[in-house]
Structure 1
Amino acid sequence: MFGNLVRYLDSVVARDPAPRSRWEVLLYPGVWALFYHKIAHRLFNAKLFFLARAVNHFSRFMTAIDIHPGATIGKNFFIDHGFTVIGETATIGDNVTIYQCVTLGGSNPTNGVGGKRHPTLEDNVIVGSGAQIIGPVTIGKRARIGASAVVTESVPEGATMIGVKARSTLVSAETYAKKFMPYGTPCKEPCEPAPNQRVDELEEQIEMLRRQVTALASAAEEEARARKAAELAEPACKGV
Structure 2
Amino acid sequence: MSLTATPALALARLVDHTLLKPEATEADVAAHVAEAIELGAYSVCVSPSFLPLAVPAGAELKVAVVCGFPSGKHTSSVKAAEAAQSIARGADEIDMVIDLGAAKAGRFDLVEADIAAVRAVIPAPHVLKVIIESAVLTDDEIVAACRAAMAARADFVKTSTGFHPAGGATLEAVALMAKTVDGELGVKASGGIRTLEAVEAMIAVGATRLGLSGTRAILAEAAGLAVEPEAPGSY
**Considering the TM-score relative to the shorter chain, is it more than 0.5?**
no
TM-score (norm. length: structure 2): 0.34
Structure number with bigger Rg: 1
